Chain A
Amino acid sequence: MYHVETKTRASKIAFYGGIIVLIIAVALPFFAGRATIQDIFFILTMLVLAQWWNLLAGYGGLVSVGQQAFVGMGAYAMFGMVILQGWDPVPSILIAGLAALILAIPTAFFAFRLQGAYFAIGTWVIAEVTRLSVAQWKQLGGGTGTSLPRSATKNMRGVEWVKDLLDVKTSAARDILAYWLALIMAVLTIGFIYWLLRSRRGLGLSALRDNFTTAKSLGVDAVAIKWFVFLISALGTGLAGGLIYMQKARISPDAAFSVLDWTAYVIFIVVIGGIGTIEGPIIGVIVFFLLQNMLADYGSWYLLILGVIGITIMLFAPKGLWGLFSQRTGIQIFPVQRRLVNKNQNSEDKNNG
């Protein structure tokens, strides 16, 4: 009897390894300094952004250069709930996701009228429109921006509990809370995306990406899938935006809608790591973080080098670092390739790649 399998030996090993890493990560605030927590927070949130962009572009074939619209919209929605409605920042993050989702609907309406690179620039235009419009929102600081009021940040749900648990100051407790939320978000994001790609919808997505016309002729609803992937990525990106700016506690339109921070860096991370794989962004964000640490003092040289590396990888190793590794070794940690396995045979087909 034949059945379809996706597990690989590497993935099983990685699964147990991952549990261990996760336990360490959860326990980190107990023994690491504040700077480390902030660094890992940054890594985790960039990873979340990268995973969503990768789902959109690497799997969905929709290259967006406008995801900063959803980061910004989410962040501003979160700020809006706190400042204008008196909500606690933490639950406001959920509203951030919702706001991004709502923004995604007209965005998709306009952007889907365009193809390929024009779609990309179209998403950028819409991000610009959003930025310029939000800059008119005087109650949230207009063009110069605003900060979360102290009353809101001091009394944030969970901060007291963290303070007592770890015996730290309020501001450190906030960072730790944000860190744990980021950890949850990262695990849920990767888990969801992995589940999605292994589901039937994911199979349709892969089919669409590989051969559009054939997939459609076999009944894959291209339009529905495109909308679904676009909306869900926006939702995830908005949630991340809300969390990022909850931690920053200070917002401005130029920062929240920055092409550099929320698109250029994200694209770099995905491209270096390996587009179209779940493992890729993980590798990419680590490389990105290391590069940033090494070169941060060099101003524009840093970005220049980043750009050159990105171009070089795209020209000579388009599958990124993980792609190179995976091709050499055939290892997949998050295998989404389906293989036909004959239950009667004990050896598994080694040709997955």
Chain B
Amino acid sequence: MIWIDSLIQGILLGGLYALFAAGLSLVFGIMRLVNLAHGDLIVFSAYITLAFVSLLGIHPFVAAFVAAPVMFGIGWLLQRLVLNRVLGPDILPPLLVTFGLSIVLQNALLETWSADSRRLSVGALETASLSLGPITVGILPVMTFFTAVLAIIILNHISFKTELGRAFRATSDDPVTAQLMGIRPNSIFATAMGLAMVIAVIAALYLGIRANFDPSIGPARLIYAFEAVIIGGLGSLWGTLLGGIIIGVAQTIGATINPEWQILAGHIAFLVVLSIKPRGLMPRAFD
């Protein structure tokens, strides 16, 4: 029974990882940019949400609503002013600039908020649970999972059923020709980054409620996000969810065997999938 329980927990954890990964996947899909600061931006969003909670005395969920447009703006500016300059065929500049950004963010957070662990409290919701026959599941993990599914549905809807989504895909295919169609690639990229940051806020909300956070946990989130994207296959958001689930399940099963093996188990699962299916389980992008 403990294994079924672990499996369920793992699947639900996968929802959180999918939320970490969705923004990364979106940005890579549209502008071929892998943002090494992605994890730190999620942590940053958590701190922003926390700031609104303390400043305005509001509930974290409401604070996230307020933080979302703020982070959209920050992402938009970041892309417009800094990251648009490094897009191009050379892989070094975006890698090194986003790596530097990661360091800057971590230390800026450290200076502003200290290394103390923080939490977003939602009171009773944190421990509320649901009985499904022989198993109990936490309400929060279930909410996280369904939020991830909803986010993916919405992102896919945007991508395939809206004019903006068409512009995203066209710009991703061929920015020069897209510009000939009246699209401004620089603005599209900035909008995409802004959107990715909105997802980051949602991910940060669930991250911050579920566990303690401090300025240094960004890189680990980046790695889980990245693993989920690679396992799932570049270009597929549902694949990213599947990838998140695989990592989540591997981690929880690993932890059940030996708590020290939790994180290692996730990485091993990633390496196994990578060696059998290098393009991921549901690859799709024209690379």
- Same assembly: yes
A residues at B contact (CB < 8 Å): 57, 61, 63, 65, 109-110, 113-114, 116-118, 120-122, 124-126, 128-129, 132-133, 135-136, 259, 264, 267-268, 271, 275, 299-301, 303-304, 306-308, 310-311, 314-315, 318
Within the complex, the shortest CB–CB distance from A109 to chain B, in Å, comes to 8
Q: A303-B103, A308-B104 are in contact. Are A314 and B111 (CB under 8 A)?
A: no
Cβ of A110 and Cβ of B275 under 8 Å apart? yes
Partner of B267, one of A65, A113, A129: A129
Beta-carbon contact of B91 and A116 below 8 Å: yes
Interface string of B208-227 (1 = CB under 8 A from A): 00000000000100110011
The one of A63, A113, A304 in contact with B95, judged by C-beta atoms closer than 8 angstroms, is A63
**If A110-B275, A121-B34, A129-B264 touch, does A267 touch B94 (CB 8 Å cutoff)?**
no
Across-interface contacts of A303 in B (CB, < 8 A): 103, 106-107
- A-side contacts of B95, CB under 8 Å: 63, 116-117, 120
> Interface digits, B90-122 against A, CB 8 Å rule (1 contact, 0 not)?
011111110111111011101100000000000
B57 at the interface (CB under 8 A from A): no
Q: Is B271 a contact of A117 with CB atoms below 8 Å? A: no
Best-buried of A65, A117, A259, A275 by chain B (most CB within 10 Å) = A117
Chain A facing B: main interface SS: helix
Is the Cβ of B108 less than 8 Å from the Cβ of A114?
A: no
Contact for A304 among B36, B92, B104, B275, CB less than 8 A: B104
Query: Is the Cβ of A307 less than 8 Å from the Cβ of B111?
Result: no
Who on chain A is nearest to B268 by CB? A129
A117 touches B94 (CB 8 A): yes
Name 9 A/B residue pairs within 8 A (Cβ), A-sorted.
A63-B95, A117-B94, A125-B271, A275-B92, A307-B107, A311-B100, A314-B86, A314-B93, A315-B97
Would you list the 5 A-B pairs with minimal beta carbon distance, nearest first? A117-B34, A307-B104, A307-B103, A300-B107, A113-B278
A126 and chain B: residue at smallest CB distance: B271
Q: Given contacts A125-B267, A304-B108, A311-B104, is CB(A118)–CB(B226) below 8 Å? A: yes
Scan residues 55-109 of chain B and give those whose CB is less than 8 A from a CB of chain A: 82, 85-86, 91-97, 99-104, 106-108
Residues of B within 8 A of A125 (CB): 223, 226-227, 267, 270-271
Beyond A124-B223, A307-B107, 18 extra complex contacts between A and B, CB < 8 Å = A61-B91, A110-B274, A113-B274, A114-B274, A114-B278, A116-B34, A118-B34, A121-B34, A128-B267, A135-B260, A264-B103, A271-B96, A300-B111, A301-B107, A311-B97, A311-B100, A314-B96, A315-B97
- In the complex, whether B183 has a CB less than 8 A from a CB of chain A is no
Question: B225 — nearest CB in chain A belongs to which residue?
Answer: A121
Residue of A nearest to B90 (CB): A318
Chain B residue contacts of A311, Cβ below 8 A: 82, 97, 100-101, 104
- A132 in contact with B263 given A113-B275, A315-B97 (CB within 8 Å): yes
Q: With an 8 A cutoff between CB atoms, is B230 at the interface? A: yes
| B 245-272 to A, binary, CB cutoff 8 A, 1 in contact else 0 | 0000000000000001001100110110
* Among candidates B33, B82, B107, B274, residue contacting A315 with C-beta atoms closer than 8 Å: B82
Is B110 a contact partner of A129 (Cβ separation < 8 A)? no
Per the bound structure, the CA–CA distance linking A114 and B36 in Å amounts to 16
- Give min CB distance, B236 to chain A, whole Å: 15
B contact set with A: CB distance below 8 Å: 33-34, 36, 82, 85-86, 91-97, 99-104, 106-108, 110-111, 219, 222-223, 226-227, 230, 260, 263-264, 267-268, 270-271, 274-275, 278
Residues of B within 8 A of A301 (CB): 107, 111
A-B contact count (CB 8 A): 115
Question: How far in angstroms is the closest Cβ of chain A from B52?
Answer: 24
The answer for the CA separation of A122 and B273 in the assembled complex, in Å, is 13
Question: Are B260's CB and A110's CB within 8 A?
Answer: no
Collect the chain A residues with CB atoms within 8 Å of residue B268's CB. 129
Note all chain A residues with C-beta closer than 8 A to B267. 125, 128-129, 132
Q: Is the CB of B104 within 8 A of A110?
A: no
Say whether, besides A110-B275, A267-B96, A271-B96, A128 and B101 are in contact (CB < 8 Å).
Answer: no
Interface pair A114/B230, CB less than 8 Å apart: yes
Chain B residues whose C-beta falls within 8 Å of the C-beta of A318 in the assembled complex: 92-93
Which residue of the partner chain A has the closest CB to B96?
A: A314
**A314 B271 Cβ-Cβ under 8 A:** no
- Complex interface: chain A residues within 8 A of B86 (CB): 314-315
A117 touches B36 (CB 8 A): yes
**Once bound together, how far apart are the Cα atoms of A109 and B274, in whole Å?**
10
> In angstroms, how far is the closest chain A Cβ from the Cβ of B183?
25
* Nearest neighbor of B220 in chain A, beta-carbon distance: A128
Least CB distance, A107 to chain B, in whole angstroms:
10
Residues from chain A with a CB closer than 8 A to the CB of B33 are 117
B285 shortest CB reach to chain A, Å: 12
What are the residues of chain A within 8 A of B270 when measuring CB–CB? 125
The answer, among A136, A271, A308, for a CB contact under 8 Å with B260, is A136
Query: Chain B residues near A136 (CB, 8 Å)?
Result: 260
The docked-state distance in angstroms from the alpha carbon of A314 to that of B227 is 27
Known A57-B92, A132-B267, A300-B111: A65·B99 in contact at CB below 8 Å? yes
Distance (whole angstroms) from the CB of B253 to the closest CB of chain A? 16
Chain B nearest Cβ from A276, distance in angstroms: 9
Interchain CA distance A135-B85 in the complex, whole Å: 41
Given that A129-B267, A304-B111 are contacting pairs, would A314 and B274 also be in contact in the complex, using a CB cutoff of 8 Å? no
Give the chain B neighbours of A122 by CB distance below 8 A: 230, 274
Assess the B260–A310 pair: CB atoms within 8 A.
Answer: no
> In the complex the two chains form, is A300's CB within 8 Å of B101's CB?
no
Complex Cα spacing A122 to B274, Å: 10
Q: Tell whether, in the assembled complex, residue B223 and residue A121 are in contact, meaning their CB atoms are under 8 Å apart.
A: yes
Nearest A residue to B229 via CB reads: A118
Q: Check if A307 sits within 8 Å of B101, measured CB to CB.
A: yes
Say how far A103's CB is from chain B's closest CB, in angstroms. Answer: 14
